[in-house]
Chain A
Amino acid sequence: GENVEQHPSTLSVQEGDSAVIKCTYSDSASNYFPWYKQELGKRPQLIIDIRSNVGEKKDQRIAVTLNKTAKHFSLHITETQPEDSAVYFCAAKVRGSQGNLIFGKGTKLSVKP
């Protein structure tokens, strides 16, 4: 089955700097890769996603890149702000009969003012 590895587990940056979180996946059939932001005690919120037919997607300060050959994808946050502090989860999904999301273990991002 699919296995998703996420690094780093914790990341601390200064306000205004960029943050990069990387994930690798094992199942080459995976074709959907969302990123979720989860604040303490709250639900995961979908912040951006990418499908396997594109290599990059951007939404304001957030971008995701996908390298299908290497089976890795990354989240890039530019001009970080304190409110970006949260736990970020990557996930991979094989679009099929079940379509389960397999999550990485999460990255705790701290943005220091």
Chain B
Amino acid sequence: GAVVSQHPSRVICKSGTSVKIECRSLDFQATTMFWYRQFPKQSLMLMATSNEGSKATYEQGVEKDKFLINHASLTLSTLTVTSAHPEDSSFYICSAEQGNTYEQYFGPGTRLTVT
């Protein structure tokens, strides 16, 4: 149980284009999902907290107009990187919280490369 999927696993796009990443909880309902960004050899940096049916809460320094988050259902959250630039290249990981268990389970991550 507690499986989180993420799609795509890898994406290469040209500068100026937009990329959508999907995060799904496969066997549980996730009221809250989280989006992280991880640079090589660094820790996970929380970008935003996504609650089903409401607007995401963004961490300081994260541009909400650039990183669009939608949490339309209890099993799906999407992150859209708009007008991507090379500096947006990173490993993006989502996680989902299983009910009131405290525990967060991570998706496999999406490697974004912007050329």
Same complex origin of A and B = yes
Size bin of chain B's contact surface: 20 to 34
Residues facing A in B18-75 (CB within 8 A) are 32, 34, 42-44, 46, 49, 57
If over half of B's interface residues share one DSSP class (helix, strand or loop), that class is named, otherwise mixed; here it is: strand
A interface residues, how many (CB within 8 angstroms): 23
A89 within 8 A of B: yes
> Given that A89-B43, A89-B44, A99-B32 are known contacts, is A44 also in contact with B102, CB under 8 Å in the complex?
no
* Measured CA separation A100–B62 after assembly (Å): 15
A residues neighboring B (CB under 8 Å): 32, 34, 36, 41-46, 49, 51, 89, 93, 95, 98-106
B residues neighboring A (CB under 8 Å): 32, 34, 42-44, 46, 49, 57, 93, 95, 97, 102-109, 111
